[in-house]
A = this chain, B = another copy of it.
């Protein structure tokens, strides 16, 4: 087991009606910027519920943060923070709104000239403007961690940032929000959380037995509940397990002490940047292809996953192969297509090479837990998903 530092300072208020804690959770005398996305919170009643708890604060709103939050949009919010002397932010939304808020937490206190440098130069955020979240869409785990992904349309970039200054002060996670989500977002949330676990688990056997068991527990639970999440999202108990799995998948606990992969995310981000395909769906496209390509090095762990999570028996190689097939079937059972040709996209045949070119423009391609996935490998992995 590798050395690790575990720090989860975010207070998670999980369950029904937890938004009623908001007035106690937000520091007194805060001037609050309320951030949200495309306005679904005004249709599903969450906006009303939140606003009712904020009467003792001076609140300014900023809506319109899009999926894959855009730097240009966030710069407008940053301007509001500065001109209005905002000292607390409340993100009401899913991973995109929360990630956008994290960028603002960093940028608001950034001393450099150009806040894009935080992303492009990989600057760690030690202290950020404090913020809380009201989660409306379980998927990314962003409500409990200190990472964010920000996009910039002009340059086609989608970059990550992090640091201890980006933990939410608190997060409200009420599973009731699941009931009003469209099927597409439910499926995305399941696939996203599932892949988050896989990126931290599906590497090679280590001595970190408990981390493996916890990861397998999240995967088993997601597989168990997925059909019910899709068919009965209004079932509170199912929704609660779904929301808690998404959180545990990326709150940091299962990555402690183990090697991680994240190559699926790196390639998936490029597919989103090129075609605008939902983040989670790009993961479901890349994952099976990645594991088939890397089956030699991942065979032992794939077989462990196949046996413990999927209940497959047989020799190691066979179990590993079946485990990949069944995982792809699992994504497809959620209504997620796992081949690019099933999406409405142009220039498919030239995409693998142009994707590699785009990745190389940003930095050398060195991916995976062994740092052995290079340009030619990405090309092969992408050619297999057309």
Interface set of A (CB-CB < 8 Å, partner B): 1-18, 175, 207-211, 213-214, 216-218, 220-221, 224-225, 237-238, 240-241, 244-245, 248, 253, 256-257
Contact = CB atoms under 8 A, between A and B. Distances in A.
Contacts of A238: 207
A210 B221 contact: yes
Contacts of A175: 1
A5 B1 contact: no
**Copies of this polypeptide in the complex:** 2
8 contacts: A8-B9, A15-B257, A207-B237, A208-B240, A209-B225, A210-B248, A213-B214, A214-B248
Contacts of A4: 12, 14-15
Contact of A11 (B5, B11, B216): B5
A244 B210 contact: yes
Leading 4 A-B pairs by shortest Cβ distance: A3-B15, A213-B217, A207-B237, A6-B12
A70 B35 CA distance: 52
A175 B207 CA distance: 13
Q: For A3, A208, A211, A237, which residue has the most chain B Cβ atoms within 10 angstroms?
A: A3
Given A1-B241, A210-B218, A210-B248, 11 more contacts: A3-B15, A3-B18, A4-B12, A8-B8, A208-B240, A209-B221, A209-B241, A210-B221, A214-B217, A240-B257, A253-B253
A232 to B, nearest CB: 12
Q: For A217, A237, A256, which residue has the most chain B Cβ atoms within 10 angstroms?
A: A217
B3 A207 contact: no
Contacts of A209: 221, 224-225, 241
Nearest to A224: B209
A253 B254 CA distance: 13
A7 B2 contact: no
Contacts of A17: 3
Contacts of A5: 11-14
